[in-house]
Amino acid sequence: MVPVVDRRTFVQGRTATYGVAGEGMPVVLLHGWALGQHTYRDVISTIAEQGCRVIAPALPGFGGSADLPGDSFSLRGYALWVADLLDTIGIEEPVVMLGHSFGGGVAVRFAHDHRDRVRSLVLVNSIGGSAWKSGRGLRSIAERPLWDWGLHFPSDVWPIRQATRVLPVVVEDLLPNLLRNPRAIVKVANLARRSDLRGELESLRNAGLPISILWGTRDGIIPRESFEALCVASGVQGTIVEGSHSWLLADPAKFGEIITNDVRVAKAARELELQAPPPKRKGLRRVQSLARRPTG
């Protein structure tokens, strides 16, 4: 397993923490609601083993990263924070942007607002589809009450075989976040619930950005209708896997296998860019001076 190293820096004048592992093509992994980079340690290592340098920040309000100021608290504000973090740690080339759950929403917004910094986009059980099927038919997910989300959370870590795998890694970040900043957890939950990113995905589709969307069959937090709405907006078929909302935490190896093709394609594109000769500098055209020469 490739070791994941915890690091600390300052972004926008405030404390920021992140994990980093591996060498090679840069991949940014954005975590889900109420979690942090520690929860994804095995996932980070699995991606790094494929010849990637994985940067996994603790998003503002979680894992020791300071909150966003009130006037910046939005998906746009989170995306700008990620851009500033990459500037701070010296990541200049385009990245593979990978987001899970709430992190998927930030990833979409980052790709939309900073298109030239993204090589490809991978969304895993992501927010942003804004579709929910209730007893009265298909409705906006913004209408789904928070208590209904909470009812589905226990089922996300069962059956017991999965619970023994997921609970220890989730608790490592979830409990400290609950104790350190419970207000941020509620604020981000409401932000996630209201997010509709179909317009941004349509724009990215029209721009030709490679997009992959994954979803677990037993996900009670992000309903299938929301996943399908993301796929329609992106113009991609999407991939359905057996598992819950946190299936990648339960089986990092399986996740690594599924995204192997995304990594391979991105690395091939990167190699072509690195091998391409630098653009020729245009020669300077001599212009006859308009100044009058001295006479006599």
Would you write out the chain's pLDDT as a tens digit for each of its 296 residues? Answer: 899 999 999 999 999 999 999 999 999 999 998 888 999 999 999 999 999 999 999 999 999 899 999 899 999 999 999 999 999 999 999 999 999 999 999 999 999 999 999 999 999 999 999 755 555 555 555 555 554 555 455 555 445 455 566 666 666 777 777 777 788 888 888 898 889 999 999 999 999 999 999 999 988 888 899 999 999 999 999 999 998 888 999 899 999 999 999 999 999 999 988 887 766 655 444 444 344 444 44
Tokens of 124: 């895993």
pLDDT of residue 167: 63
pLDDT of residue 288: 45
Domain-located, residue 38: yes
Domain-located, residue 13: yes
Q: Please give the DSSP secondary-structure letter assigned to residue 40.
A: G
Q: How far is CA 162 from CA 166, 168, 173, 181, 247, in A?
A: 6, 11, 18, 27, 8
Domain-located, residue 43: yes
Q: How far is CA 165 from CA 99, 122, 147, 151, 228, in A?
A: 21, 23, 25, 21, 28
* 210-254 pLDDT per residue, tens: 999 999 998 888 889 999 999 999 999 999 999 888 899 989 999
Q: What share of the chain is helix, strand, coil (3-state, %, to 5)?
A: 45, 20, 35
Sign of the CA dihedral running 195, 131, 114, 214: positive
The Cα–Cα gap between 250 and 78 comes to 27
The per-residue DSSP string of 221-268 comes to SS-HHHHHHHHHHHT---EEESS-TTHHHH-HHHHHHHTHHHHHHHHH
Range(s) of the domain holding residue 258: 5-271
First and final C-alpha spacing in the chain? 83
Instruction: Kindly report the CATH number assigned to the domain that includes residue 83.
Output: 3.40.50.1820
Domain-located, residue 279: no
The Cα–Cα gap between 74 and 77 comes to 5
Q: Are 189 and 153 contacting, i.e. CB atoms less than 8 angstroms apart?
A: no
Query: β-strand 118-124 against 25-30: which pairing, if any?
Result: unpaired
Residue 16 DSSP SS3: strand
Q: Are 62 and 116 contacting, i.e. CB atoms less than 8 angstroms apart?
A: no
How many domains does the structure of the chain reveal? Answer: 1
Domain-located, residue 295: no
Sheet holding 118-124, edge to edge: 5-11, 14-21, 52-57, 25-30, 95-100, 118-124, 211-216, 239-241
pLDDT of residue 139: 53
* 192-216 pLDDT per residue, tens: 888 999 999 999 999 999 999 999 9
